[in-house]
């Protein structure tokens, strides 16, 4: 099953009636992964975690869940991805396995809730970008994921009258082609129509519009099987202007930029140009979101920044989007009676019970936000530096 943002929301809602959950992440990528077998790596991580546990019952629970995961790794696991995430709590009947297209670091946690931080990062990396190059007769479509071209397809709709020997048939289209072998659509001279005349021009216009619609329907078909969040357009300016006229608003709002590329450009050139554009856009988008957060917080009411105000917003179930600077960590304490959350130790202000420390406070914040159907954004680079100056974490809240 494909990892989506919905998967994260579903996983965050796993409940175990106080049985601890083992969350295990393993890099199973043959290219960048472990030199020793996964069970050995897993066993090592479990041993390191066991050494930090004070409670006898917790150590026993870790051992029980670890044995279960080991049985799976040794007997049932058939690798299909580069990363593996497992969530296990045997007494609660909880068992979830996610094979991931991207590698993850080797990590093991024992917690009362699933630890989803590493998965959030992978889900962000898995977001697709579609690239559509279009001129008046051709269209080329690519989807990019994890820096690679995932799929590609080409369309050719002959525009009658545009060619000296133009036939009046149209709608010839190349079937979707597999990765690697992108056929050239023949050598059709793109010289202007020599026959001219208003009647012909109108005819050409009609066929160009039909071609644009055809390209759009192919894009739509693609999006159903391979949903994408970002769209890059490319091709001659005039054709792009035509194409924008048929582009529905829900697609237009996903356009992150326009590339000046020939339809004949090799796939590798398209890939590099699109990746660079997506990378830059991603950075700008993160910076924009952090700016939005800080502005909302400055105005008051719309957003909060800093660990304590963020914990308060999470507690009231009001988080619409949680923004975390990469690498941010902070302690978290909870009232076992009423669930009050605090950044510092002490007694609960509501029921006076002593607060207990929550293992991995940021991970807890992520799960709480997901359970509130909040969006999670882990920001990097410049956006992270700006957010760190304001406490490293913040939330845009629901009214």
To 5 degrees, how large is the angle CA 248–CA 251–CA 253?
Answer: 105
Using the rule CB under 5 A, give the single segment among 119-127, 209-217, 312-320, 332-340 that binds Zn ion. 332-340
Q: How far is the CB of 304 from Zn ion (least distance, A)?
A: 21
Asked if 324 and 379 touch (Cβ cutoff 8 Å), the reply is: yes
Site for Zn ion contains 338 (CB under 5 A): yes
C-beta closer to Zn ion: residue 164 or 337: 337
Using the rule CB under 5 A, give the single segment among 22-30, 120-128, 228-236, 346-354 that binds Zn ion. 346-354
Using the rule CB under 5 A, give the single segment among 5-13, 167-175, 311-319, 345-353 that binds Zn ion. 345-353
Q: How far is the CB of 315 from Zn ion (least distance, A)?
A: 11
C-beta closer to Zn ion: residue 93 or 346: 346
Q: How far is the CB of 363 from Zn ion (least distance, A)?
A: 21
C-beta closer to Zn ion: residue 268 or 352: 352
Q: How far is the CB of 318 from Zn ion (least distance, A)?
A: 19
Q: How many residues contact Zn ion, by CB under 5 A?
A: 7
Site for Zn ion contains 335 (CB under 5 A): yes
Please pick, from the candidates 296, 340, 370, 374, the single residue that binds Zn ion as defined by CB under 5 A: 340
Q: How far is the CB of 311 from Zn ion (least distance, A)?
A: 14
Query: Burial of 58 by CB count in 10 Å (0-12 exposed, 13-18 middle, 19+ buried)?
Result: middle
Q: How far is 288 from 290, CA to CA, in rounded Å?
A: 5
Please pick, from the candidates 348, 358, 393, 395, the single residue that binds Zn ion as defined by CB under 5 A: 348
Cβ neighbours of residue 185 closer than 8 Å, sequence gap 6 or more: 138, 154, 156, 174
**What are the phi and psi torsion angles at 55 (to 5°)?**
-80, 130
Q: How far is 100 from 123, CA to CA, in rounded Å?
A: 9
- DSSP assignment of 112-174: SS---HHHHHHHHHT--EEEEEE-SSEEEEEEEETTEEEEEEEEE---TTSSTT--S-----P
- For residues 23, 24, 25, 26, the Cα torsion angle rounded to the nearest 10 degrees is -170
Site for Zn ion contains 177 (CB under 5 A): no
Where in 55-84 is the site for Zn ion (CB under 5 A)? none
Site for Zn ion contains 347 (CB under 5 A): no
Q: How far is the CB of 341 from Zn ion (least distance, A)?
A: 10
Site for Zn ion contains 350 (CB under 5 A): yes
Q: How far is the CB of 353 from Zn ion (least distance, A)?
A: 5
Q: How far is 179 from 154, CA to CA, in rounded Å?
A: 12
Contacts with Zn ion, residue ranges (CB under 5 A): 335, 337-338, 340, 348, 350-351
């Amino acid at each position: 099953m494909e990892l989506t943002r919905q998967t994260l929301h579903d996983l965050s809602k796993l409940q175990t009636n106080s049985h601890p959950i083992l969350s295990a992440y393993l890099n199973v990528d043959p290219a960048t992964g472990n030199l020793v077998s996964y069970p050995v790596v897993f066993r090592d991580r479990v041993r390191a975690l066991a050494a930090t546990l004070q409670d006898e019952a917790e150590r026993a629970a870790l051992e029980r869940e670890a044995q279960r995961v080991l049985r799976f790794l040794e007997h049932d696991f058939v690798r299909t991805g580069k990363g593996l995430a497992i969530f296990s709590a045997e007494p609660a009947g909880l068992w979830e396995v996610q094979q991931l297209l991207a590698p993850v670091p080797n990590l093991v946690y024992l917690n009362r809730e699933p630890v989803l931080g590493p998965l959030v990062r992978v889900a962000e990396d898995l977001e697709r970008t579609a690239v559509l190059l279009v001129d008046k007769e051709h269209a080329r479509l690519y989807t990019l994921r994890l820096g690679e071209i995932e799929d590609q397809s080409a369309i050719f709709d002959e525009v009658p009258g545009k060619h000296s020997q133009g036939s009046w048939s149209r709608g010839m289209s190349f079937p979707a082609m597999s990765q690697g072998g992108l056929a050239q659509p023949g050598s059709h001279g793109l010289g202007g129509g020599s026959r001219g005349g208003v009647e012909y021009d109108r005819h050409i216009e009609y066929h160009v519009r039909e071609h644009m619609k055809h390209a759009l329907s192919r894009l739509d078909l693609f999006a159903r099987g391979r949903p994408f969040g970002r769209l890059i357009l490319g091709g001659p300016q005039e054709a792009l202007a035509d194409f924008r006229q048929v582009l529905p608003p829900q697609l237009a709002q996903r356009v992150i930029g326009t590339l000046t590329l020939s339809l004949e450009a090799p796939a590798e050139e398209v890939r590099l140009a699109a990746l660079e554009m997506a990378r830059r856009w991603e950075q700008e988008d993160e910076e924009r979101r952090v700016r939005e957060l800080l502005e909302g917080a400055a105005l008051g009411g719309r957003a909060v920044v800093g660990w304590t105000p963020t914990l308060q917003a999470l507690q009231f179930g009001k988080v619409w989007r949680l923004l975390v600077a990469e690498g941010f960590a902070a302690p978290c304490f909870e009232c076992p009676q009423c669930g009050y959350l605090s950044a510092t130790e002490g007694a609960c202000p509501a029921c006076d019970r002593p607060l207990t420390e929550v293992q991995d406070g940021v991970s807890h914040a992520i799960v709480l936000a997901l359970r509130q159907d909040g969006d999670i954004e882990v920001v990097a680079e410049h956006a992270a530096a700006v957010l760190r100056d304001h406490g490293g974490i913040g939330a845009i809240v629901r009214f």
